[in-house]
Homo-oligomer: A and B are copies of this chain.
Amino acid sequence: MIDTRQNILEKNYEAMHRQGFQGVRPDKVISELGITKGAFYHYFPSKLELGYAVVDEIIGPRYTGLWKQLDYHQGHPVEGIVWCLEGIRSGMNATQCELGCPLNNLINEMAPLDEGFRKRLQAIMEAMHSAISRALQRAADKGLLNKNIDADNYAYFILAAMEGCFSVGKSMQDKGAFDAAMDALIATLREIKRESQKANGQ
């Protein structure tokens, strides 16, 4: 093993993705990795701190990294958002669809149960939300978006619809349902773009 700590993090991330944090059994993950408790508790003081590390070092960066790119996107901001959504979709296959969105899973499991998780997950959502909101605001400032769309509120809607696509795909265990919902979301975004152009006489 080149980097034991990283291996522990990644295996536990996979276990959390499949079984939820409460369902993770450190003993099992340890034996799968072929290491012992000594190694595990050398790097992490407890299961809870390991969970935090998974969020901080794996889940968080993955999401914030993607949406941060919105700020540097050239062209119509709505197309930037669509580009991010397509990026997420392209990372999905049938198996990923069954397991759902790691962030969405963890929010629904842990947000009401543990303050440490909640703050971390909220920070990730807030980063995504503000990135989307800024993109919408840029569009509005350029006159590319209908004035009666509130960027902040509409960003929550986009975020909600996106996370919901995962829930639908997971419940139906059908990537077709995930894609259908995602397509409709993207179509809706392009519709408000078109309508705004018409309204502004462009």
A160–B156 CB distance below 8 A: no
**A57 touches B (CB below 8 Å):** no
**A51 touches B (CB below 8 Å):** no
Bound CA span A156–B165, Å? 8
Residues in B neighbouring A10, C-beta threshold 8 A: none
| Oligomer copy total | 2
Question: With A105-B109, A112-B98, A173-B118 as given contacts, are A185 and B157 in contact (CB-CB < 8 Å)?
Answer: yes
Q: How many residues does chain A have at the interface if contact means C-beta atoms less than 8 Å apart?
A: 50
Residues in B neighbouring A122, C-beta threshold 8 A: 171-173
Bound CA span A64–B119, Å? 34
Residues in B neighbouring A177, C-beta threshold 8 A: 156
Beta-carbon nearest neighbor of A168 in chain B: B160
Question: Which of B111, B160, B170 interacts with A107 by CB under 8 Å?
Answer: B170
Beta-carbon nearest neighbor of A98 in chain B: B112
B173–A113 CB distance below 8 A: no
A109–B109 CB distance below 8 A: yes
Please give me the 4 A-B residue pairs with the lowest Cβ-Cβ distance, nearest first: A164-B164, A160-B164, A157-B184, A153-B180
